[in-house]
A and B are shown apart, each in its own frame.
Chain A
Amino acid sequence: MYEKILQIIDALRLDKSVPLNPETHLIGSDRILDSLLLVELCLKLEDLGSELNFNFDWTSTEAMSRSASMFRDIESLVAEFENQLSNSK
């Protein structure tokens, strides 16, 4: 799932000069996606969830928190996506 989500993020980001890794931040001052692209990422993940027969829920109690958000980095987003996929079965 990591590779799949990485592909989606890579396709969305405008600046492709820096390589992506699990610690790449999706929110905060050094984020690679602006708020517009972050919403588009959510819609793409929603579509991916539908392909996998579950509804990806991107709402979070602390969506924009650097410490607790699923969007804090790629690793945490993949973990949350996989967790929701697992719980849907």
Chain B
Amino acid sequence: MILVTGASRGIGLAISNRLLERGEEVLGVSRTATNTEFETRLLDVTDFRAIKNLSDEIRLSGKKVTAVINVAGIASMNLALMANPLTSVNLVHVNFLGTVYSCQAFAPLLVRNGGGTIINFSTIAATLHLEGESIYAATKAAVENYSKTFAKELSEFNVRVNCIAPGPIRTDLLRGVTEDQINRIVKAQILAKQFEKDDVVDLVDLLLDHKAKSLTGQVFHVGGVR
């Protein structure tokens, strides 16, 4: 079984559908109900107790978890001086703590299984220090840093932890980002083209494959970054 947070839409949904096509059992986690072809649990990744309860339920069911993919995230574009404090709190809670809670609660399931893969999601904004994305980018930079340390702590358990940092992929998170801004970000990529959700899903496929067994503690930029 593979767990995917943020599975109700965007990249999380695309990943879940691809896994389903491959014949994997997917358990999606999301705050909102959508019509998916895989089982979904409605819960908020900022609720550690709810995440831990789900982990306990899976453990007691005896199901084997092979991977955890943490896609759940929110974006908000504000100049740092104008950021609403509540928005800042939400960004930290969902993007950073949501990833931390999911990793902490679900990683023991991988350890029990003799190993597995964790994929967390960052953004190109964390590397580019884009104006108007200071808090969003900082939460994702925190995810990258956390993932690198977590990769070390889990290395002895044969659990690999990596980050994927996409550029501007057309999802709801891009709302409010102008074409001009998108073009500027794309130009900062080594491969200066706007990639699609499928390209990100391909990278997930790669990291889940046993051929990626040497890859851990790394941040993969879709299209590269200058």
Contact = CB atoms under 8 A, between A and B. Distances in A.
- Interface size class on chain B is 10 to 19
Interface residues of A, number: 10
Interface in A36-78: 36, 39, 42-43, 46, 50, 55, 57, 59
Contacts of A46: 59, 108
B156 A36 contact: yes
B108 A36 contact: no
B59 A36 contact: no
B111 A55 contact: no
Contacts of B52: 55, 57
Contact of B157 (A36, A50, A55, A57): A36
B104 A59 contact: yes
19 contacts: A35-B153, A35-B156, A36-B156, A36-B157, A39-B108, A39-B111, A39-B157, A42-B108, A43-B108, A43-B111, A43-B112, A46-B59, A46-B108, A50-B59, A50-B60, A55-B52, A55-B56, A57-B52, A59-B104
A50 B57 CA distance: 11
Interface string A2-45: 00000000000000000000000000000000011001001100
Nearest to A34: B156
A57 B156 CA distance: 22
A39 B104 CA distance: 12
